[in-house]
């Protein structure tokens, strides 16, 4: 008897909750569209999160001023994951379950995007990562998209650049084994560079957060390479550059978009001058679309946008475009609209998505010049 009444009570409670749930959705239809953003706004990659967030907010503020989407305003909710993958997963769950977000934006780091993606996929909430370049991220499921090129392309760009532009034949690799992004880039670079006729003379590794790289650099020095491909993040890269110089290893470092931060030069200093990295766009690019974005960003924040801000701006643009084209704002409708995106005019280039929900667009190579200024070297198109 007792048991049965408990069961009944529970059933009633569940029913109540369900009703409340559907009631909420009804009320929401007039309120703002809530979009979730998971970002590392603190920690060793803090500038990744803060730059992305600025890019998103600038886009949505503009959009809201123009009247929003389907007559509704956009509300961006940003949660910090402190640069920890498990926190990124928790933040994604919280945004989906308690903030009932229409779509998820984030993360920059591939490792953290990989922890978030299953949550979004399971709840059928479309997710767009602005800057995660590891292939595996969008392979999680058909609700996961990105606004940037993938590692295979970035590795190819740097291999082609090292071989054709710099005319190098002996390159060493130093990769971060705790980082999916770094491991992926190193693998593709090694394959492509060898295929083009170059040799990888040494492969050494480190773990994110290490501060001493002398042992690995000493081994690399013994093989006398002409350059070191180091696809890490900016804090590690700054320290690596300084220690390489201290060891008398005077060859350029080559890297990927993980270098892009104003902190890079503060930590690495003059040791970085003469190194190259691939990136999503260059502020010096004369294209009117880029110059208009840079001017607008400077006017609002007083800062020069790094590529993460530009990528975020484009990711928000893709989402807004899909939400406008979708017949309604349910997860599946937005997903279908995103999947058919063709020639979206983004700041970082025209974006079309391929069958694996990855954009096809060009990359740029930048050189670190005197005083840490990025110099535009070349633009490399996808094959």
Partner 1 sequence: MIELLQHIVDGLSLGAIYALIALGYTMVYGVLKLINFAHGDVFMLGAMMGYYASAKWSGEAQNPSFWGAALVGILSMAICGVVGFIIERVAYRPLRNAPRINSLITAIGVSFLLEYGGQNLFGPTPNPFGILPRREALNLGGLSLGYVDVIVFVVSIALMLILQRIVFHTRIGTAMRAVSWNAQVASLMGINTDFIISFTFVLGSVLAAAAGLLYASKYPSVHPLMGLMPGLKAFVAAVLGGIGNVPGAMLGGLLLGLAEQLVAGYWSSSWRDAVAFAMLIIILLVKPSGILGRSDAEKV
Q: Does 263 bind partner 1 (CB under 8 A)?
A: yes
Whether residue 337 contacts residue 323, with contact meaning beta carbons closer than 8 Å, is answered with: yes
Binding residue for partner 1 (CB under 8 A) from 82, 121, 169, 352? 82
Which range of residues in 156-164, 199-207, 333-341, 360-368 is near partner 1 by CB under 8 A?
199-207
Q: If you write DSSP's letter for every residue of 245-307 in order, what string do you get?
A: HHTT--S-EEE-GGG-SHHHHHHHGGGGTT-EEEES--TT---HHHHHHHHHHHHHHSS---H
Any contact of residue 239 with partner 1 (CB under 8 A)?
A: yes
CA 8 to chain centre: 49
Q: Which stretch binds partner 1 (CB under 8 A): 18-26, 266-274, 281-289, 327-335?
A: 266-274
**Alpha helices, H only, the chain:** 2-28, 46-65, 85-97, 110-123, 136-139, 151-160, 180-195, 214-222, 234-246, 262-268, 288-301, 307-325, 331-339
Q: Does 139 bind partner 1 (CB under 8 A)?
A: no
Using DSSP, state whether 164 is helix, strand or coil.
helix
Binding string to partner 1 for residues 302 to 341, with x set by CB under 8 A, is what? ----------------------------------------
Q: Residue 262, interface with partner 1 (CB under 8 A)?
A: no
Question: Does residue 181 sit in helix, strand or coil?
Answer: helix
Residue 179 binds partner 1, judged by CB under 8 A: no
Residue bearing tokens 């591939």: 110
Instruction: Indicate the residue among 249 and 294 with the shorter CB distance to partner 1.
Output: 249
Question: What is the C-alpha separation between 325 and 304, in angstroms, rounded?
Answer: 32
Distance of closest approach, residue 52 Cβ to partner 1, in angstroms: 15
Report 200-219 residues binding partner 1 (CB under 8 A).
Answer: 204-207, 209-212, 214-216, 218-219
Q: Is 64 in the site for partner 1 (CB under 8 A)?
A: no
Which residues of the chain form contacts with partner 1 (CB under 8 A)? Answer: 42-44, 46-47, 82, 177, 204-207, 209-212, 214-216, 218-219, 221-222, 235, 238-239, 242, 245-248, 263, 266-267, 269
């Amino acid at each position: 008897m007792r048991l049965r009444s408990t069961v009944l009570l529970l059933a009633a409670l569940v029913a109540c909750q369900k009703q409340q749930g559907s009631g909420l959705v009804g009320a929401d239809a007039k309120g703002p569209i809530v979009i979730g953003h998971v970002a590392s706004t603190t920690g060793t990659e803090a500038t990744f999160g803060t730059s992305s967030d600025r890019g998103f907010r600038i886009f949505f503020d503009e959009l809201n001023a123009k009247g929003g989407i389907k007559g509704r305003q956009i509300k961006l909710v940003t949660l910090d994951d402190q640069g920890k993958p498990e926190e990124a997963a928790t933040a994604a769950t919280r945004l989906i379950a308690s903030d009932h977000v229409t779509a998820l934006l984030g993360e920059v780091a591939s490792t953290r995007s990989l922890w978030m993606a299953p949550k979004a996929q399971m709840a059928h909430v479309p997710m767009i990562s602005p800057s995660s370049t590891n292939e595996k991220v969008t392979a999680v499921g058909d609700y996961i998209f990105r606004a940037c090129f993938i590692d295979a392309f970035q590795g190819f760009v740097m291999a082609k650049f090292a071989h054709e532009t710099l005319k190098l034949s002996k390159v060493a690799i130093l990769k971060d084994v705790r980082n999916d992004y770094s491991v992926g880039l190193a693998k593709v670079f090694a394959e492509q560079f060898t295929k083009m006729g170059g040799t990888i003379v040494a492969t050494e590794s480190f773990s994110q957060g290490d501060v001493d790289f002398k042992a690995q650099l000493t081994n690399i020095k013994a093989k006398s390479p002409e350059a070191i491909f180091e696809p890490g993040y900016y804090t590690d890269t700054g320290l690596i550059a300084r220690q390489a110089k201290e060891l008398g290893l005077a060859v350029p470092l080559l890297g990927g978009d993980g270098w892009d931060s104003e902190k890079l030069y503060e930590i690495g200093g003059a040791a970085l001058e003469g190194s190259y990295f691939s990136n999503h766009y260059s502020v010096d690019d004369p294209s009117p679309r880029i110059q208009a974005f840079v001017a607008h960003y400077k006017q609002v924040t007083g800062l020069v946008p790094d590529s993460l801000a530009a990528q975020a701006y484009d990711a928000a643009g893709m989402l807004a475009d899909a939400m406008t084209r979708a017949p309604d704002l349910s997860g599946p409708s937005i997903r279908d609209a995103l999947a058919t995106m063709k020639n979206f005019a983004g700041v970082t280039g025209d974006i079309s998505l391929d069958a694996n929900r990855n954009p096809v667009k060009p990359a740029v190579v930048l050189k670190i010049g005197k005083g840490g200024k990025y110099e535009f070297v070349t633009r490399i198109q996808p094959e």
